[in-house]
Amino acid sequence: MTVLFGLGTAFAWAFANVFTQQVTRTKTKPAVIMFWVLSVTTAAVLPLALIVDHLEGPWTVAGLAWPVAAGVLADIGFFLLLRALSKGSLSVIAPIIAMEGGLATIFSIALGERPSALVYALILVAVIGAVLVALEPGRRTAAGAPEAILAAVTYAGVLVSLGQSELPDLTTVGITRGVSVLVILPAFLLVRQLPRRVNVYPILWCGLLDAVGFVCFAFAASIGPLSVASVTATQWGTAAALIGIIGMRERLFVNQYIGIAVTLLAVTGLGLAS
């Protein structure tokens, strides 16, 4: 069941990014996309969290601090993701952002964790792979790669914050997404736009798939082992890259194909070594 839920996370997030990219290509303002997608996710997760977690605490300032921090960082990461997908290929952007788990391991060192030498080596391999993906002949970097790298760093901070939360998993996700909605609300109120008709279904699917991904991962992690849940969930980068290359017929350079393979193998190894 852990593997099934983990793969559910991977494919849900992969297809969510497909719909997200579809919306970004319609020149819709980021604040509009973010507000409606996050609102759908929050509306889907919060009721389930109330049913499963029964408002279990601790409901303290310290208990809420990490989910709130995750919500703020998630908005920054989402904005960078939108920028990356509006410019670049899904098969390039996804493997770079999938490094978030390895980067989160680096951040966790500041919190007292001591990763093994193997983990350090795999992180280095992942970085080399990401560099290969980001290099595009004729350009200094592949389109969207700088934003994708910054998004990976930001999402790593989200993962660390979620991991430090003392609240139940679904409650943590619900609060995180709720905070993200509140943070983006002032920017949305400046434009106050309903989604274009062509974007309604993609935004709805993106929000629902994002929620499905988080819920599946919460169940996968609770069933355990966490290493299996993590390594299967991080395959969203693999799934998204395959969707981009096969389903969307994106054409890349040889070094980028090699970089995708190297990055995804390193991400898989990090999941197994965690």
DSSP H helical segments within 60-116, as ranges? 61-87, 90-97, 100-108
| pTM across the whole model | 0.83
Q: How far apart are CA 75 and CA 42, in angstroms?
A: 13
The answer to whether the beta carbons of residues 26 and 199 sit under 8 Å apart is yes
The whole-number pLDDT of residue 274 equals 59
DSSP letter at 214 equals: H
Number of compact structural domains in the chain: 1
Average pLDDT over residues 207-235: 77
How do residues 97-136 score in pLDDT, each as one tens digit? 887 877 777 777 777 767 778 877 887 887 788 777 777 6
Going by C-beta distance under 8 Å and a sequence separation of 6 or more, which residues neighbour residue 39?
Answer: 181, 207
Q: Is the pLDDT of residue 227 over 80?
A: no
- Domain residues for the domain of 114 are 2-273
Q: How far apart are CA 102 and CA 123, in angstroms?
A: 6
DSSP H helical segments within the chain, as ranges? 2-24, 30-53, 61-87, 90-97, 100-108, 117-134, 145-164, 169-191, 197-223, 226-233, 236-242, 254-273
